[in-house]
Amino acid sequence: MKEKMSNFAYKMMTYVGMPIRNLFMQPNKIFTEVEIEPGYQALDYGCGPGVFSIMLAEKIGQSGLVYALDIHHLAVKTVEQKARKKGLTNIKTILSSCSTSLPDNSLDLIIFFDVFHVLDNQEEVLMELHRVLKPEAIMYFSDHHLKESHILSTLTEKRLFKLKSKGIKTFSFSKSK
């Protein structure tokens, strides 16, 4: 991120900004565009308070695993608390601004929602996501702060990803190389 937000700013985003955004961009409607199979290994990059991480964990089931990555320690803490409260043991958190520390070609699915516009290390992050995504696996991308043309050009210009399909709220990308 351009710089990690303060604890106060994170709490305002989580408890004020996101609920307002979720009225207009309902997470469950966005999530219907994500194809998930039980047993998947998935990453929610820039997980924030974990709305999608929890949805993923419930859908993937105990045979799968969700990695919830965020730069902010309160986001990671929130996801851990929500997972405990729901009895979900298939979520692992990662506190990082880029590196997942996951093995190459290890993920079946990446969700990359509404965080790309705040990254100052976009190319580095895309390289990392390309590294950990299995061949033919899918990265679901959405960022309502960016124009479609910008999303498509930025994600495909280095030939790391190719557009697989466009949904109503998300883009699906697969690895190019």
Residue 90: burial class (beta carbons within 10 Å; 0-12, 13-18, 19+): middle
Residue 131: burial class (beta carbons within 10 Å; 0-12, 13-18, 19+): middle
Residue 101: burial class (beta carbons within 10 Å; 0-12, 13-18, 19+): exposed
Q: When comparing pLDDT for 61 and 177, which is higher? A: 61
| pLDDT > 70? residue 22 | no
The strand pair at 65-70 and 91-95 is best described as parallel
Report the CATH fold assignment for 7-175.
Rossmann fold (3.40.50)
Match 């093995």 to its residue by tokens.
103
DSSP string computed for 34-91? ----TT-EEEEET-TT-HHHHHHHHHH-TTSEEEEEES-HHHHHHHHHHHHHHT--SE
Residue spans per domain, the chain: 7-175
Q: What span, in angstroms and rounded, lies between the C-alpha atoms of 33 and 161? A: 18
Q: What span, in angstroms and rounded, lies between the C-alpha atoms of 87 and 34? A: 23
pLDDT reported for residue 169: 87
pLDDT band at 144 (very low <50, low <70, confident <90, very high): confident
43-84: per-residue pLDDT in tens? Answer: 999 999 999 999 999 999 999 999 999 999 999 999 999 999
- In the chain, what are the helix, strand and coil shares in percent, each to the nearest 5? 40, 25, 35
